[in-house]
Amino acid sequence: MSTAVDVHNLWTMAADPVEKIPAPHIEYAQLSPTLIVIGVALVGVLVEAFLPRRSRYYVQLLLTVVALAAGFAAVVGLAAGGFGGAKAHVAAMGALAVDGPALFLQGTILLVGLVAVFTFAERRLDPAAHGNRVDSFAAQAASAPGSAGEQAAVKAGFTTTEVFPILLFAIGGMLVFPAANDLLTLFIALEVFSLPLYVLCALARRQRLLSQESAVKYFLLGAFSSAFLLFGIALLYGYAGTVSYAGIANVVEGRPGSVNGALAGTMGNDVLLLIGGAMLLMGLLFKVGAVPFHMWTPDVYQGAPTPVTGFMAAATKVAAFGALLRLLYVVLPGLRWDWRPVMWGVAIVTMLVGAIVAITQTDVKRLLAYSSIAHAGFILAGVIATTQDGISSVLFYLLAYSFVTLGAFAVVTLVRDAGGEATHLSKWAGLGRRSPLVAAVFAIFLLAFAGIPLTSGFAGKFAVFKAAAEGGAGPLVVVGVISSAIAAFFYIRVIVLMFFSEPKPEGPSVAVPSPLTMTAIALGVAVTLVLGVVPQYFLDLAGQASTFVR
């Protein structure tokens, strides 16, 4: 048996005196966005360990903002250096792709992270506890809610400044996820960005039981789905004998570089390929929040601290759709006649269920969660197109959608009553009479979600549906337009509720935020309107960035 001899050869080689182990060749400059973010996250951990409590907040905030801005500058530098187009290649011994889609999505994730940091750092919304300004995060997450330990921590004015390095670790994983060029890197990146998110979900200052419950649900279901993803990776590895994207793609298309006896046996076994591919897709669709795997979304979005929800809703979607695009367009294009019908079904069900179930929601955060599910369906329509336009429209949609989401959740943090954020929809009645500016801003975000012209939502939806129709998915576009109409109903209903009903006397008040949240919301509005009114520059940018390297 030849394979056994191969393995024994490996063992005996290793036992001989080793002359020289060649060091791996890493292109540090091309990986700099990720390296900067992860490096500063490590510095943030040291800051937590060695700096006095009083100065930690300011140092952490400064470090985080600088890291994200520097990372974004590095992405822009790489794109200007031509890595988005002609010089695109696979770096770090085949582990990471440096190409247009990767750089575009990394830039988007870094900008989203930068805006999210502003909402994380907001300290004027909650009333000061014992003379200390507090943010949305628990005074001491380890102390049980309502215990003496918690009261002591609140009295001492503790805040969880660890959220900043945790956020940076999550962003670091997200930067790798859409650029991963082998299945091992994909899995590690998934865990690196998921584990910090589980922790962040558990850290709310108010309604801590809800927050902890959402963390448990997210963690158990997330770990379950990543186990499926890993088994899918194992089966694909068994099928192709390699985990690199290009290697698997070659075997799927029936032209591997060299065939040995074992590969000839497993290559013919489509069961490994189909089940492996399906399990891998399940893991990614879970992160995206597509319908058979969407059950965690409303609970986690409702329970998590609202700044975290906004970040998660925007950045996780960008990263996960980036990985999904690369997987379907680079690894499995040879299999597209098998995955396209499945993804058709998933997209249709996702759009319809997201839009219809959202109508029955009474909580703003759950409403936005179901709306995010419907939007995942719209983006999937662009993914299915399997054309160049499909890639660029998905990239543009992700950019547009993430800023609308961030802005909408930032507005949710402002509407408060005695118990913290007032997320029940009935409390939002008449908000337009009491604080017209906040209600108008929220209305802009809702109109963008609904896809009304002159907002980024319209430009994004138009691009995605156009690509899908040209890619031969006409019926999908019809379903998409119908579910957009259903979704528009409940967005408009919230606007009517805010502007055309009487405010209740005991209703919530709108807190005046610090410049941090104001900047976040203003950026959200600005991006929404700019992408809606003059989308052409950004569509061209996405178009230039829409070629995967293999």
Partner 1 sequence: MNPVNYLYLAALLFSIGAAGVLIRRNAIVVFMCVELMLNACNLAFVTFSRMHGNLDGQIIAFFTMVVAAAEVVVGLAIIVMIFRSRHSASVDDASLMKL
* Interaction between residue 198 and partner 1 (CB under 8 A): yes
Shortest Cβ 363–partner 1 spacing (Å): 9
Q: Is 187 or 245 the residue whose CB approaches partner 1 more closely?
A: 187
Q: β-strands 415-417, 420-421: how paired?
A: antiparallel
Query: Segment 111-170, which members bind partner 1 (CB under 8 A)?
Result: 141-142, 144-146
Distances (CA, A) of 217 to 145, 242, 280: 18, 34, 21
| Alpha helix positions (H), 241-363 | 245-252, 261-267, 270-288, 296-303, 306-311, 317-326, 336-359
Shortest Cβ 521–partner 1 spacing (Å): 26
Q: Is 237 or 548 the residue whose CB approaches partner 1 more closely?
A: 237
Pick the binder of partner 1 from 27, 133, 231, 335 (CB under 8 A).
Answer: 231
Among positive and negative, which fits the CA dihedral 444, 450, 454, 460?
A: positive
* Interaction between residue 259 and partner 1 (CB under 8 A): no
517 and 119 Cβ atoms separated by less than 8 Å:
yes
Shortest Cβ 388–partner 1 spacing (Å): 32
Pick the binder of partner 1 from 34, 136, 302, 393 (CB under 8 A).
Answer: 302
Shortest Cβ 399–partner 1 spacing (Å): 30
* Interaction between residue 237 and partner 1 (CB under 8 A): yes
Helix (H, G, I), strand (E, B) or coil at 255: coil
Pick the binder of partner 1 from 214, 297, 413, 455 (CB under 8 A).
Answer: 214
Which bin fits 207, alpha (ψ -120 to 50), beta or left (φ > 0)?
A: left
* Interaction between residue 42 and partner 1 (CB under 8 A): no
Q: Is 200 or 394 the residue whose CB approaches partner 1 more closely?
A: 200
Rg, the chain, Cα only:
24
Q: How far apart (Å, rounded) are the C-alpha atoms in residues 74 and 81?
A: 10
Helix (H) or strand (E) holding 421: strand 420-421
Helix (H, G, I), strand (E, B) or coil at 420: strand
Pick the binder of partner 1 from 154, 171, 215, 542 (CB under 8 A).
Answer: 215
Q: Is 69 or 234 the residue whose CB approaches partner 1 more closely?
A: 234
Q: How far apart (Å, rounded) are the C-alpha atoms in residues 15 and 527?
A: 60
Q: Is 287 or 461 the residue whose CB approaches partner 1 more closely?
A: 287
Residues touching partner 1: how many (CB under 8 A)? 54
Whose structure tokens read 């020289």?
Answer: 20
Contact residues: partner 1, CB under 8 A: 2-4, 6-7, 10, 141-142, 144-146, 184, 187-188, 191, 195, 198-199, 202, 208-210, 212-217, 219-220, 223-224, 227-228, 230-231, 233-235, 237-238, 241-243, 260, 262-263, 265-266, 298-299, 302-303, 366
